[in-house]
Amino acid sequence: MTASQPMNTRRIVVGITGASGAAYAVRVVEMLAAQGVEVHVACSNLGKRLLAEEAGITKLDADALSGGRGDRLVMHPGNDVGAACASGSFQHDGMVVVPASSNTLAKIAHGISDNLVQRAAQVTLKERRPLVIAHRESPIGLTEIEAMRKVTEAGAIVAPLSPGLYLQPKSVNDLVDFMAGRLLDLLGVEHQLPIRWDEHLAEQRQATANRHSTPR
Ligand SMILES: Cc1cc2nc3c(=O)[nH]c(=O)nc-3n(C[C@H](O)[C@H](O)[C@H](O)COP(=O)(O)O)c2cc1C
């Protein structure tokens, strides 16, 4: 697939940066591709390193990143600020930066575009398209809090990579799926990932807990 194809389906830009959590990026790309979305991928230099170290993806290749759905992906050189998605004329339905490093968060907050992830994010904001920043760093200080405030005021959604535990995850994959599902929700892309809170589930759990509790 090439970036110059006419838009006949949904397009989402995925920026991958050098924060821990490469698995989140892989799962988001996989799920978007599985939903038939045209996925435009930009990866920072440190993002490539994290994909290699955490996900074993040493060659940034469309099939490796999408679980065999490489036909849905357009891979852009991460340092090419002249790529299609660096321009406001490139129409898309939203961008997610996942994982988003504090460095990239700060650059977006201050309108600095040193690489394609930052430039595409900046353009997404100026064109008033959805931008989701899935930040990962803990703890955070005033610098990150201020950067989060700035990007939020500029129209972005900050979605910290902080999966909920209320569905009682059994594995790392469950945690990754939880966040991937929430990010797809924020991008308005349908999915079947099991992330929905069900009040009946809570009632059943409470009833089970009551049955097993020791009588006074
Ligand atoms: C193994 C490793 C893990 C890192 N994890 C994080 C992280 O979770 N959050 C973060 O903000 N930075 C993290 N960093 C630091 C960033 O990679 C560094 O600030 C880098 O400049 C980010 O560049 P980028 O935003 O262009 O990807 C990590 C670096 C390495 C090598």
Can you tell me the distance from the alpha carbon of 137 to that of 21, in angstroms, rounded to the nearest whole number?
10
- The domain total for the chain is 1
Domain membership of residue 166 (yes or no) is: yes
CA distances from 22 to 13, 61, 66, 84, 212 (A): 16, 14, 13, 24, 40
Q: What is the 3-state secondary structure (H, E, C) of 139-193?
A: CCCHHHHHHHHHHHHCCCEECCCCCCCCCCCCCHHHHHHHHHHHHHHHHCCCCCC
Domain membership of residue 134 (yes or no) is: yes
Is residue 46 lining ligand 1, measured as CB closer than 6 Å? Answer: yes
pLDDT tens digits, 118-138: 999 999 999 999 999 999 999
pLDDT tens digits, 68-81: 889 999 999 999 99
Domain membership of residue 160 (yes or no) is: yes
Domain of 16, in residue numbers:
11-212
Domain membership of residue 5 (yes or no) is: no
Domain membership of residue 3 (yes or no) is: no
Domain membership of residue 137 (yes or no) is: yes
Return the pLDDT at 4: 47
The CATH number for 100's domain is: 3.40.50.1950
CA distances from 181 to 24, 96, 153 (A): 10, 13, 24
**Residue of 14, 16, 20, 53 to test ligand 1 pocket, by largest number of atoms within 8 Å of CB:** 20
Task: Determine which residue's CA is closest to atom 17 belonging to ligand 1.
Answer: 18
Domain membership of residue 6 (yes or no) is: no
